[in-house]
Chains A and B, each alone.
Chain A
Amino acid sequence: MNTTTTAEPLAAGPETGERPNYLNAAYGLRSWLLTKDHKRIAILYLISVTAFFALGSLFALLIRLELLTPEGDMFQPDTYNRLFTMHGIVMVFFFLIPAIPAVLGNFLVPLMIGAKDLAFPKINLASWYVYNLGGLFTLWSIVHGGVDTGWTFYTPYSTHYSNTYVISAALGIFITGFSSIFTGLNFIVTIHRMRAPGMTWFRLPLFIWSHYATSLIIVLGTPVVAITLLMVAAERVLHLGLFDPALGGDPVLFQHLFWFYSHPAVYIMILPAMGVVSELVAAFARKPVFGYKVVAFASIAIAVLGFLVWGHHMFVAGESAYAATVFSVLSMLVAIPSAVKVFNWTSTLYQGSVSLQTPMLYALGFIGLFTLGGLTGVMVATLGIDVHVHDTYFIVAHFHYIMVGGTIMGYMGGLHYWWPKISGKLYPAFLSRLSALLVFCGFNLTFFPQFILGYLGMPRRYWAYPPEFQVLNVLSTAGASILGVGYVLPLFYFIWSMRYGKASGDNPWGAVGLEWDTPSPPPTENFLTTPVVTHGPYEYNVKEVHDRTSHPEARVG
């Protein structure tokens, strides 16, 4: 690594923008739409996933507005059913699954391992186009009235009874699945084959371990939901009997096939966020993550065990009690690596040098909310409890704690941490901390009451409900509005920062990692010369690293 880069005096202002980097390497729409640079592709994804997140949030807002009152007075029940279905489909398949891997993963994986790009840059670009093609099919569906089967497409309702655009929505998800597969495949090959000299497996950042584990799940699981959705489409068009008991089929077979992917899918959603949190905790405590090897293996364990527990979605669906028992005990097992990670992250703070800049606020928020969300997960994995809370708001609260309190907090934390790397700019510290606070408070107000609602018995996917549930629903909607503000603010200040933000300097956080050894924003080829790695990750105590962090960097947050 060329030491002259870090020794340059880094002043804010025009100098950073004038250095050749991946952003100013070429201008014009074609240079973006036909790029092979993983960093530009990450930005393309950032734009797409943000658009879908906005759409999914709009659906959420409408749902929560309807639920302000016990009667169904805003929408027809039919419309409401489409709203929650589209909220689920857009959020799960077009935001939660791709966001961290396709935005942060695409940007950072080559940088963190010292490579010039991913193994297959053209496939990377193709994956973005495929994602948007799938998105188009789904948008077409939405524009024509949407789907009303729930994101879970249970049969025979979805195959024989629903009058909505099931096939185009299913095809949209099918196509987008390939985008996911291409990304996963790219990461696996890149991590195996393109690490810089000296970068052994146990010198990889935990972000890379997480994305590797995620990619394994993507590659093994996504094709199963793909074929399942094709079978649903075929059944719908030709009136086959694969899943319809009236024609000799088995509706529970659909559930097995669907959940075989969709359970591991939740680990596709959380593992990358866990990878981000590992990086954030290390950077903002300025020490290695405690128990590095354990955390690395825990990611792999989660990926493996995650494939063995799908039946816990079907405890009351006609599964035999013996099968239910097996799935329940395995679900207990899969919780343990996650618990271990939480303990290791917390221990990392011990004797650390803790700074509460915005990314760290998100990381710490993640740890708290993921703990509660995960514990409610083992609660519902407990057979006797699930019988009561399955298909109620307790489950809704559980998975939102993980997906919003977990994944989205991780995503936001990552965006805030690596924004200077991506853009070379800083965002306003006060606003970013305010947003983090709004998100944390708004989130808890939205979803904690739902635990209570669920145990009281309020079923999910209900457009109207008994009046005694109203107070808790109103609290939830109030929380959602606060949460919404917390999400909108970053959209504004990130865009603002690209034009008006202060130059960040190459390493505003004083962090350690190969990605911080290049300029911010990086040159197109990432490294001017291939780095040679001689230390493990997070080596804050090595002297020359210590020297680097002594340079007065622009203070952030």
Chain B
Amino acid sequence: MASTTIDTHHLNPAGHHPRLQHQFDSLEQQKESSTLGMWMFLVTEIMFFGGLFLAYVVYRTKYPHVFAASSHHLDVTLGGINTAVLIGSSLTMALSIWAAQVNKRKLIVVFLIATMVLGAVFLGVKAKEYTDKFTHHLVPGAHFAPEDEHLQGPAREQAQIFFSLYFMMTGLHALHMIIGLGILAALIRPSWKGRFDLAYHTPLECTGLYWHFVDIVWIFLFPLLYLLGAHAR
């Protein structure tokens, strides 16, 4: 197959970018590979959440009234605030990448921290919501005991299905957010040290992709879980 001995690339030629890993021939190839890798990972995440969304669709179709009644117990205001917070955090994330592209390392850190703060706000609101559910005996399991008169008898089990899916979907989402916060934290020090600039900011880009994905999952979760029963209020 190979017919010539053209020596196109030596290993570790003098003067290559310090961030270039040994298996790649150029920074361009590395960046394209890293972003493609992140996109592939996000595809797996879509399928991962997809199973829960499918279960949700199936049971919503099966028990529309119970699901609507259960949904009334979710706080639309808090959910709405969280939606705005998360969209805002996607903005700050995108801005951190812009800051790298204009070589403003301190600004990268500012926006990363802003993203983390907004993410923490989201999680704080979620914690409040979960605590409320706990107080009202709406956590699935041995202590599941809704007080709502519409959710008694067989409807109680069906409501438990709703809340199981609610906790699993939002819980899985929150877990992804926590991991995201960890990744953001890990990016602060290198950003401060000037690691990222116009030529190289791949880790920021990949983190941005991940963060936007987590945001989009919430954009789907919010209407499905919180808003579906709203018309019947």
Contacts and interface: CB of A to CB of B under 8 A. Distances in A.
Contacts of A250: 58-59, 62
Interface in B45-86: 45, 47-52, 54-55, 58-59, 62-63
Interface stretch (A117-125, A273-281, A366-374, A446-454): A117-125
B32 A241 contact: no
26 contacts: A1-B5, A110-B23, A116-B11, A119-B23, A184-B40, A185-B41, A186-B37, A203-B1, A219-B47, A220-B43, A220-B44, A220-B47, A227-B49, A231-B52, A238-B141, A238-B142, A240-B161, A242-B165, A247-B160, A248-B157, A248-B160, A525-B22, A529-B9, A530-B7, A532-B4, A533-B1
B43 A219 contact: yes
B152 interface: no
Interface string B1-16: 1111111111100000
A72 interface: no
Q: Please indicate which of the listed interface residues B40, B54, B154 has the most CB atoms of chain A within 10 Å of its own CB.
A: B40
Interface stretch (A82-90, A191-199, A317-325, A385-393): A191-199
A181 B48 CA distance: 12
Contact of A532 (B2, B24, B25, B55): B2
B50 A223 contact: yes
**Which 7 A-B pairs give the minimum distances between C-beta atoms?**
A1-B2, A227-B51, A223-B48, A117-B23, A223-B47, A531-B2, A238-B141
B29 interface: yes
A514 interface: yes
A240 B22 CA distance: 50
B33 interface: yes
Interface stretch (A130-138, A340-348, A502-510, A534-542): A534-542
A193 B33 contact: yes
Given A185-B37, A240-B140, A530-B9, A535 B1 contact: yes
A2 interface: yes
B4 to A, nearest CB: 6
Q: Please indicate which of the listed interface residues A116, A181, A242 has the most CB atoms of chain B within 10 Å of its own CB.
A: A242
A241 B157 contact: yes
A120 B59 CA distance: 40
A119 B33 contact: yes
Given A116-B22, A231-B52, A529-B10, 8 more contacts: A115-B23, A185-B40, A185-B44, A186-B37, A192-B33, A240-B141, A248-B63, A531-B2
B185 interface: no
B164 interface: yes
B164 A242 contact: yes
A288 to B, nearest CB: 12
B36 interface: yes
B1 A241 contact: no
Contact of B8 (A517, A525, A529, A544): A529
Nearest to B158: A248
A514 B11 contact: no
Q: Please indicate which of the listed interface residues A203, A249, A250, A517 has the most CB atoms of chain B within 10 Å of its own CB.
A: A249
Consensus secondary structure, chain B interface: helix
Interface string A234-248: 110011111000011
Nearest to A187: B40
A181 B42 CA distance: 11
Q: Please indicate which of the listed interface residues B3, B21, B50 has the most CB atoms of chain A within 10 Å of its own CB.
A: B3
Interface in A177-219: 181, 184-186, 188-190, 192-194, 196-197, 203, 219
B2 A517 contact: yes
A115 B25 CA distance: 9
A2 B4 CA distance: 8
Contact of B164 (A118, A184, A194, A234): A234
Nearest to A539: B1
B198 interface: no
Interface in B89-144: 140-142
Nearest to A249: B161
Contacts, number: 161
Contact of A534 (B3, B10, B164): B3
A544 B23 CA distance: 29
A532 B43 contact: no
B161 A224 contact: no
A237 B59 CA distance: 21
A513 B154 CA distance: 65
A313 to B, nearest CB: 17
Nearest to B10: A529
Nearest to B32: A193
A3 interface: yes
B230 interface: no
A188 B54 CA distance: 27
A514 B3 CA distance: 11
B219 interface: no
B55 A253 contact: yes
A340 B160 CA distance: 50
Given A240-B140, A248-B154, A189 B168 contact: no
Nearest to A247: B157
Contact of A197 (B8, B21, B40, B168): B8
B1 A239 contact: no
A222 B50 CA distance: 12
B23 A513 contact: no
B25 A530 contact: yes
A257 interface: yes
Contacts of B11: 116, 525
Interface in A91-126: 110, 114-121
A544 B1 CA distance: 10
A223 B2 contact: no
Given A194-B29, A517-B2, A238 B140 contact: yes
A512 interface: yes
Contacts of B22: 116-117, 525
A525 B29 CA distance: 18
Contacts of A227: 48-52
A146 interface: no
Q: Please indicate which of the listed interface residues B2, B4, B63, B164 has the most CB atoms of chain A within 10 Å of its own CB.
A: B2
